[in-house]
Amino acid sequence: MFLHLSYSSLISSILFGLTLLAVAPICIVWVIEKRWDISIDVPDRNTRLFLFPVAITCQVLSVVAFVLMHIGDMVAFSVLCLTVTASIFLLNLRFKASIHAAALAGSVTALALTFGPLVLPAYLFLVPVVWSRRKLRVHHFGELLVGALVGLLLGALLYRLPDLWGVIRY
């Protein structure tokens, strides 16, 4: 786990990860939204599919960066984010599933498996996320449920595959 890192290295790696996994894609999407006057909720399938590669590219960069820095736990988390996003992207080629619900459920599952039951209350964050996506009429309940289940299953799967750990754990 992160126990081998000093406090400053831990904070630095988390901030670096947040920059590549969240801040960069959000900023790029925001610029695209302003430039082409599209809705941030991206109701149009073609536009939605255009934005996924932005997130996937940032996530690939985070995997590579953390491999080069030898921070296995952040590699694992970046791989999880990449896998969840790529899976929802592929689902969205034919259907519509919530990337918000998937990302949150996958992240909380990974954290719960890493740090134990103390993290389980973080699943409650799904309630406002699912409610807001439904209230904004961006998703139907089934799309939210599929997204959450994809995130949950991938989070559990990626944190339980011994072969994967052998490749990315240091």
Closest to 158 (Cα-Cα) out of 70, 71, 72, 58: 72
End-to-end CA separation in angstroms for the chain: 10
Q: What pLDDT band is residue 122 in, cutting at 50, 70 and 90?
A: very high
The 10s digit of each residue's pLDDT in 29-66 is 777 777 776 666 666 666 677 778 888 988 898 888 88
Radius of gyration over every alpha carbon of the chain, rounded to an integer in angstroms: 16
What pLDDT, on the 0 to 100 scale, is given for residue 110?
A: 85
- Supply the range of the domain harboring residue 126: 2-168
Q: Give the burial string for 52-85 (b: 16+ CB within 10 Å, else e).
A: bebbbebbbebbebbbeeebbbbbbbbbbbbbbb
- Please tell me which residue, 157 or 146, carries the higher pLDDT value: 146
**Number of structural domains in the chain:** 1
How many Å apart are CA 139 and CA 135, to the nearest integer?
9
Classify residue 160 by its DSSP letter. Answer: T
Neighbours of 50 (CB within 10 A): 14
How many Å apart are CA 128 and CA 112, to the nearest integer?
19
What pLDDT, on the 0 to 100 scale, is given for residue 160?
A: 65
Contact 105, 147 (CB under 8 A): yes
